[in-house]
Amino acid sequence: MKPFSTASSVCLSLILAGSLIGSAEARNLRLSHNQGEDHPVHKSMQWMADRVSELTGGDLTIEIYPSSQLGTQRESVELVQTGALDMAKTNASELEAFDPIYAVFNVPYVFADRDHFYKVITGKPGKEILQHSRDKGFIGLTYYDGGARSFYANKAINTPADLKGLKVRVQPSPSAIRMIELLGGSATPLPYGELYTALQQGVVDAAENNETALTNSRHGEVAKIFSEDEHTRIPDVLVISTFTWDSLTPDEQKALQQAADESLAFHKDLWAKDIEKARETAKNEMNVEFKEVDKEPFRKATQPFYDEVAGQSEETANLLKEIRDLE
Ligand code: GCU
């Protein structure tokens, strides 16, 4: 007797062919970002990657390239626009250079507090903004909380007057530059990865960010006073190339969006815990001093900015109004 009958060998060939087709159809998406693997945003995106694989039975997977291995945030978004890269995590501030609508996130004190911020990013204005850049070659899948941003330097920034004559590193974005102008400092746009050395060598005197910059990016080694004026709450944004998005099946799109939405909720808790840890580490292990400051003078100095962004287009004016209404 032959080991296999004709029928069973046909069957076997079909199974083999099926599994080959199956694996040929499995998609692996590449995602680039500029934080390390110990950063809460990386952990939340890893959670999303695991979840999407689970939801699709391994048909759709995401491979994350941290620490700017595939380029700076700007370079990564440029690659996403051409479809050479599938996904990137960037920041709403940098996205303004790609789609001016993102300027609304850069308006100082536009969010009353963390609750208001979450209402906006999970509500109608947040969703509209994520879809807005479709004709620029990418759309947003979700935001990630990036906390409140404050100034840090080797001197206290108690009032805007303390910024006079200081070179302040900002994200490469027109609004970030304008904010420093209004506060009386001198803005120096730099990619995040260059900031540690710039602070260490005195290329810049100050920077502004959330507390993870002090610990995860070790800026607390070279800047010892964190002055909590909390001028902005600018979210990180996970974007996907429209070429990639449009090539996914409706089921894959659904799974990916679900995993992204769930990772935003996962991140909300993680962020609160990790930011507490970052503050403790910065204080106790790096001797960083946290200074409470009166926010009013900062708010006053940057007030003209709200009208400037509202004046950019009817869309930004409407969005800013919707954001206010959610307060
Ligand atoms: C935050 C954000 C980064 C961004 C950085 C910056 O840390 O998570 O995406 O690059 O700010 O100030 O450049």
Cα(255) to centroid of ligand 1, in Å? 27
Look up tokens 């993870």; give the residue.
Answer: 212
Is residue 244 left, alpha or beta, with left meaning phi > 0 and alpha meaning psi from -120 to 50?
alpha
Residue from 31, 32, 33, 35 whose mutation best tests the ligand 1 pocket (most atoms within 8 A of CB): 35
The predicted-structure confidence for 85-136, as pLDDT tens digits, reads as follows 999 999 999 999 999 999 999 999 999 999 999 999 999 999 999 999 999 9
Distance 8 CA to ligand 1 centre (A): 58
Instruction: Please give the pLDDT value at position 118.
Output: 98
Q: What is the distance in A from the centroid of ligand 1 to the CA of 231?
A: 15
pLDDT of amino acid 11: 38
Q: Is 144 in the pocket of ligand 1 (CB under 6 A)?
A: no
Q: Where in the chain is the domain with CATH 3.40.190.170?
A: 27-145+235-278, 149-233+287-325
Q: Which residue has the higher pLDDT, 40 or 17?
A: 40
Q: Look at residues 198, 208, 225 and name the one whose alpha carbon lies nearest to residue 170.
A: 208
**CB 66 less than 6 A from any atom of ligand 1:** no
Q: Which amino acid belongs to residue 197?
A: T
* pLDDT tier at 18, thresholds 50, 70, 90: very low
Flag whether pLDDT at 200 surpasses 90.
Answer: yes
Whether 109 contacts 295, CB under 8 Å: yes
On whether the CB atoms of residues 182 and 301 are closer than 8 A, the answer is yes
Q: Would you say residue 22 has pLDDT above 60? A: no
C-beta 217 within 6 A of ligand 1: no
Q: What is the pLDDT of residue 25?
A: 77
Kindly report whether the global pTM for this prediction surpasses the value 0.80: yes
Quick one: pLDDT band at residue 24, thresholds 50, 70, 90?
Answer: low
- Please, are residues 315 and 101 in contact by the beta-carbon 8 Å criterion? yes
pLDDT in tens, 55-93: 999 999 999 999 999 999 999 999 999 999 999 999 999
What atom of ligand 1 comes closest to residue 170's alpha carbon? 12
ipTM at complex level = 0.98
Q: Is the CB of 106 under 6 A from ligand 1?
A: no
**Whether residue 232 has its Cβ less than 6 Å from ligand 1:** no
Is pLDDT of 2 > 50? no
pLDDT of 12 reads 38
Instruction: Identify the pLDDT of residue 4.
Output: 38
Give per-residue pLDDT as tens, 265-295. Answer: 999 999 999 999 999 999 999 999 999 999 9
> Does pLDDT of 167 surpass 70?
yes
- What atom in ligand 1 is closest to the CA of residue 144? 8
Report CA(265)–ligand 1 centroid distance (Å).
Answer: 20
Note the pLDDT tens digit of each residue in 125-166: 999 999 999 999 999 999 999 999 999 999 999 999 999 999
CB atoms within 10 A of CB 229: 27
pLDDT at 14 over 60: no
Compare 306 and 16 and report the one with higher pLDDT: 306
Class of CATH domain 149-233+287-325:
alpha beta
Predicted local distance difference test score (pLDDT) of residue 325: 98
Residue whose C-alpha is closest to residue 45's, from 145, 129, 116, 121: 145
Average pLDDT over residues 201-220: 98
Q: How far is the centre of ligand 1, averaged over its atoms, from the C-alpha of 58 (Å)?
A: 31
Which CATH number applies to 27-145+235-278? 3.40.190.170
Sign of the CA dihedral running 90, 101, 75, 152: negative
